[in-house]
Structure 1
Amino acid sequence: MDEFAGRYDNRVDAKGRVSVPASFRAVLTKDGAEEIFCYPHPERRCLEAGGNRLVRKIHQILEEFPVLSQEREDLATFYFGESETLKIDADGRTILPKRLKEFAGIGDTAVFVGLGDKFQIWEADEYDAFRSEARDRARALRQQLGAGGRSTSGQTEKARE
């Protein structure tokens, strides 16, 4: 598999070291990434991370703006200026920098959550609260979309009009 998937609750030691899930390390390796690109989430109290694929997607977003635009500079400052490159040691661990740990409120447990082309790192209680809200939003969206664009009763919206 070449997608980040699953939830892993891993202990953070006194030195800030945490094991990166083996399946996540495998995805990074397939992506040709030897390190983790990591930055504070722009809207949530968590970290976003990934490898070369994530960095390429950020570059694609930036390319939508003129080179000297304020919008491009703001986004580049956020994604690249606030990022950290996390090395993975021979035991599969990385060190979460103090600044990033404090931003996300991570203490002795880091929750790794796969999101396909990237993953997030959360404090456990913060993630549990977010997950509950996300589940409710996903249920509502699923009901709204229905199966294959159909309403939940099996009729299209146009057929009912």
Structure 2
Amino acid sequence: MFLGTWEYSIDSLGQLVLPTPYRSALREGVVITRGFDSCLQCFSPAAWLRFAQGISGLPLGIAEVRSLRRLLFGAASEAQLDRLGRVALTHNLRVYAGLGDTAVIAGLDSYFEIWSPARWRGETQRFQQLAPGQFDLPPLVSAADTGHTRSPHL
């Protein structure tokens, strides 16, 4: 499970140190691809396989599906962590995500994202400015467990 948010430097070779808690889940490597929000999405090989199978099962006759496959598979990169826990980010992926000499790493349960600090600040500000109740989250526990009958609001 990938949790937490960190900010790390990117060295002149495009290498980024990954958080220590992530490294055990990435012993087999990491798959890095373009994310949906001008960031990078990163998966363990097993999580990537599950994710990719879902996309591969979509019909190729739909233009949007082909575009999605290009976005994700066309830019995907497999990498290994070195002995210091660093992963090399390709030039194309760094450009796509707007990365300079620092990056924000955000854990999102089964995968994590890599953001430019400026884009991450914009994303977190955008989320914080959402009007309360603009969207409902599914109940995290049953109503019987809490006595509540409504979905929680942000």
Fold in common (TM above 0.5):
yes
> Which SS does the other structure have where 1:140 is aligned?
coil
Number of the residue aligned with 1:37 = 31
- Please tell me the residue identity of whatever aligns with 1:121: I
Give 1:139 deviation, angstroms. Answer: 4.5
Select which of 5, 8, 13 maps to 1:7.
Answer: 5
Select which of 77, 88, 96 maps to 2:89.
Answer: 96
Number of the residue aligned with 1:116 = 109
User: 5+ residue gaps in structure 2?
Assistant: none
Select which of 140, 150, 159 maps to 2:133.
Answer: 140
Q: Are 1:22 and 1:92, in contact at CA under 8 Å, matched by a contact in 2?
A: yes
The two structures have a TM-score, normalised by structure 1, of: 0.75
How far apart in 2 are the matches of 1:94 and 1:107? 15
How far apart in 2 are the matches of 1:138 and 1:120? 25
Q: Are 1:38 and 1:49, in contact at CA under 8 Å, matched by a contact in 2?
A: yes
- Please tell me the residue identity of whatever aligns with 2:18: V
Give 1:70 deviation, angstroms. Answer: 4.1
- The structure whose Rg is larger is 1
How far apart in 1 are the matches of 2:81 and 2:138? 42
Q: Are 1:109 and 1:123, in contact at CA under 8 Å, matched by a contact in 2?
A: yes
How far apart in 2 are the matches of 1:131 and 1:28? 26
Q: 1:13 to 1:145 in 2, by over 3 A?
A: closer
- Please tell me the residue identity of whatever aligns with 2:42: A
Give 1:141 deviation, angstroms. Answer: 4.9
Q: Is 1:24 aligned with 2:32? A: no
How far apart in 1 are the matches of 2:43 and 2:132? 27
User: 5+ residue gaps in structure 1?
Assistant: none
Q: 1:155 to 1:73 in 2, by over 3 A?
A: closer
Q: Once the two structures are aligned, what percentage of the paired residues are identical? A: 26
Matched pairs, number = 144
Please tell me the root mean square deviation across aligned C-alpha atoms, in Å. 2.8
How far apart in 1 are the matches of 2:148 and 2:126? 28
Q: Are 2:55 and 2:69, in contact at CA under 8 Å, matched by a contact in 1?
A: no
The two structures have a TM-score, normalised by structure 2, of: 0.78
Q: 1:149 to 1:140 in 2, by over 3 A?
A: farther
Q: Is 1:69 aligned with 2:61? A: yes
